[in-house]
Chain A
Amino acid sequence: MAELLSGDRESKILGIIETARAKRAKFRDAHITMSHGAGGKATSSLIEGLFVPAFASATLEALGDAGAVHLDGLELALTTDSFVVKPLRFPGGSIGELAVNGTVNDLAMAGARPLALTLSLVLEEGLPAETLRAEVEAIAAAACEAGVQIVAGDTKVVERGHADGMYICTTGLGQRDPRASLAPDRLRPGDRVLLSGSIGEHGTAIMLARGELGLDADIESDTRCLWPAVDGLLDAAGPGLRCLRDATRGGVASVLNELARASGVAIVVREAAVPVAPAVAGAAEILGIDPMYVANEGKFVAFVAPEQADAALAALRAAPGGEDAAEIGEVRTEPPAMVLVETAFGGRRVMDQLVGDPLPRIC
């Protein structure tokens, strides 16, 4: 009897926690800490507790990667992003390449074909011209690769000691593809969860490039333009494609949590099915970090209706950089707004949003 009662109480307490988790996060901190930029719970509290209520815009409420703008029957997507990565260059890419791909990818995740970018530079006094020139060339090459034009820009210079060389802000304009009807609240029980390739490479590459850990491994950032992969997916799955989200800060774990909350569904992930490169797995093991929380710059999660899942996976694998794409789980009804992991060892656990900040300034 005592056992039964304690079981009831445990369930009740778990219920209270789940209700609290599903509520919109409040912003109650006295000041900004690095956690607010990490893409986890503190970031959500800032967005959902301060920005969204202040601007009262239906488009913002949707919490998508890009906002929708309707203009005389034309459906446009608009997004903006700042880049403060340290160091400026790292294996597999640089801040300039990230600044193009990051913004273009936010458009792609909204099912919009990228059209044009603006470029805003904040430069530190004393920045070598050579460094700036190299980044401008990287921006031009990435824009060419992504098929977008840089159509406007701005430059500011700040005193030495600020801005760590350079910060970049890009704004992207895209046109919604008629094949796409994507939204974070479109997930349905039975939907399959696809991952566009192996995870954790960007965050790990940056961490090692800083040289503070005394670790050396052959790991490159996965930064790339994702529109070709999205284009292929839209062809393969059409309206069966429910939602896309690139797994940047906070990693795959944070993205899945955002979508589970937005759709009020459960997401179950099979840990053994998640592709992780051996070098990334090794570095994560040594550092005690879960690759599911490590940032990517060229990987996304796609939710697809079960009937289209196989075709969608084939399309992902055919896209550049998508060789390791995999189906990693599915959407279920219970428990709502939660992400569960079936561990490779045969157990089960909750995969929560990122708390704290394992790794600042990765993009």
Chain B
Amino acid sequence: MRFVDEFRDAELGRALAEEIHATVEPERHYKIMEVCGGHTHAIYKYGVDDLLPSNVEFVHGPGCPVCVIPMGRVDDGIALAHEPGVIFTCFGDMLRVPGSTETLLDAKAQGADVRIVYSPLDALRIAKENPDREIVFFAIGFETTAPSTALTLRRAKAEGARNFSVICSHVTIVPPLRALLESPEVRLDGFIGPGHVATVIGARPFQFIPEQYGKPLAISGFEPLDVLQSVLMVLRQLVEARAEVENQYARVVPWEGNPRALEIMDEVFTLRDRFEWRGLGFISESALRLSDDYAEWDAEERFAVPDVRVADPKACQCGEVLRGVIKPWECKVFGTACTPERPIGTCMVSSEGACAAYYNYGRFAREREVL
């Protein structure tokens, strides 16, 4: 496949891995957080960590949009799906996320009309095709997916689509990163920055990480060579005692981001005062709601949403996994009570979740020799 295979070349991977081995100081241990779930997925899918020296460790960050959605929010979605006349649309990953009593998949089995879409525009199309139904889109994701929701809402407004609304659970990446860096228990040496978020917001918003916290960051693409090169960039900064934002993903990420995407987000969304993050608690100004101009398309305005806060299950340690404090397998219920087919916590649901990725792909770490 052109423009894909080039970034998965095993020879180039080996060459980069050799450079990494030559760069690290053997007596030092490096903990690098890959912020984005897309990176976690790529690391496991391609076995990127098999190529790294044993003293370089990935810590999986909070950048999986499904994993950070709190249980109460899932319950809100499920309640809307059960509303008579509603067609509830969402991305496929949301279907199996456990709410306090059921999942959207369970709701579907009991008669709720739940449909998977690949884009919010598909949800708007369903609205046009079903003028006598109410179509609700469960909008999740960081700044990566927010512009497409915004574009869809602008179109819905222009076309006067009255039977379409959005339950907005979009979140922003900088506040949780700041919360992480402020947390006393986290020990991280550097960051692999979220490439797709940066495509929208640019590289500049990440400058506070080196400037205020002295940690290096490399904004990275999602192919295995991208990740390896970004690891090398971060390690070089550490060895040379530098801390700055470097842009490995320059083929896509402009320093100032995408002004048109930022403009439409600014029009359609406004910051929530605070938002609850699974495992990270309430973080102020960390999520988006629809702006007053778009209140008519806000499902939270249109329907009675339960909006009940549900505590995470006691046994679940998703929060500590998301903060990078423990590794997935160190969670009390990992792999026993909590498995991809019966997830307790959200990290086990999405293929981008640190626990699901580790369960599916990562169980054979490099030190376990296969006969």
Contacts and interface: CB of A to CB of B under 8 A. Distances in A.
Given A17-B363, A20-B336, A41-B341, A35 B370 contact: no
Contacts of B339: 20
A346 B363 contact: no
A129 interface: no
User: On chain A, which size bracket covers the interface?
Assistant: 35 or more
Given A16-B336, A345-B8, A332 B371 contact: yes
B123 to A, nearest CB: 12
B109 A31 contact: yes
B104 to A, nearest CB: 10
B105 A35 contact: yes
A25 to B, nearest CB: 9
Interface string B1-34: 1001000101001100000000000000000000
Contacts of B249: none
Point out which of B47, B48, B105 has the most chain A C-beta atoms below 10 A from its C-beta: B47
A349 B4 contact: no
B100 to A, nearest CB: 15
Contact of A348 (B10, B47, B105, B360): B47
B51 A268 contact: no
Point out which of B46, B122, B362, B363 has the most chain A C-beta atoms below 10 A from its C-beta: B363
A346 B336 contact: no
B363 A350 contact: yes
Given A13-B334, A31-B106, A355-B341, A347 B371 contact: no
Nearest to B12: A345
B334 A348 contact: no
Contacts of A335: 364, 370
A154 interface: no
B368 interface: yes
Contact of B364 (A13, A35, A350): A350
A340 to B, nearest CB: 7
A340 B362 CA distance: 11
Contacts of B8: 344-345
Given A33-B108, A334-B371, 18 more contacts: A9-B329, A10-B327, A10-B329, A17-B359, A20-B339, A32-B109, A34-B108, A45-B341, A266-B370, A332-B371, A333-B371, A334-B370, A344-B8, A345-B48, A346-B14, A347-B48, A348-B364, A352-B359
B47 A345 contact: yes
Nearest to B335: A17
Contacts of B364: 335, 340, 348-350
Contact of A7 (B46, B122, B340, B367): B367
Given A10-B329, A333-B371, A350-B360, A20 B335 contact: yes
A14 B335 CA distance: 8
A30 B360 contact: no
A116 B109 CA distance: 37
Contact of B46 (A11, A41, A212, A343): A343
Interface string A166-188: 00000000000000000000000
Point out which of A9, A33, A358 has the most chain B C-beta atoms below 10 A from its C-beta: A33
Name the 9 nearest CB pairs between A and B, nearest first: A347-B47, A17-B335, A349-B361, A347-B50, A345-B46, A334-B371, A355-B340, A33-B109, A343-B47
14 contacts: A10-B365, A14-B368, A17-B363, A34-B109, A212-B122, A266-B370, A343-B46, A343-B47, A344-B8, A345-B46, A345-B47, A347-B49, A349-B362, A352-B360
B249 to A, nearest CB: 18
User: On chain B, which size bracket covers the interface?
Assistant: 35 or more
A42 B360 CA distance: 16
A17 to B, nearest CB: 4
Interface of A: 7, 9-11, 13-14, 16-17, 20, 30-35, 41-42, 45, 212-213, 266, 268, 278, 281-282, 285, 287, 332-335, 340, 343-350, 352, 355-356, 358
B183 interface: no
Nearest to B117: A212
B368 A11 contact: yes
A35 B118 CA distance: 19
Contact of B96 (A344, A345, A349, A356): A356
B281 interface: no
Given A213-B118, A344-B8, A349-B364, A13 B329 contact: yes
A205 to B, nearest CB: 18
Given A7-B367, A10-B365, A285-B4, A346 B13 contact: yes
Given A346-B51, A348-B364, A350-B364, A17 B106 contact: no
Given A31-B106, A282-B1, A348 B14 contact: no
B95 interface: yes
Interface in B317-366: 327, 329-330, 334-336, 339-341, 359-365
B44 A349 contact: yes
Contacts of B45: 343, 349
B131 interface: no
B92 interface: yes
B224 interface: yes
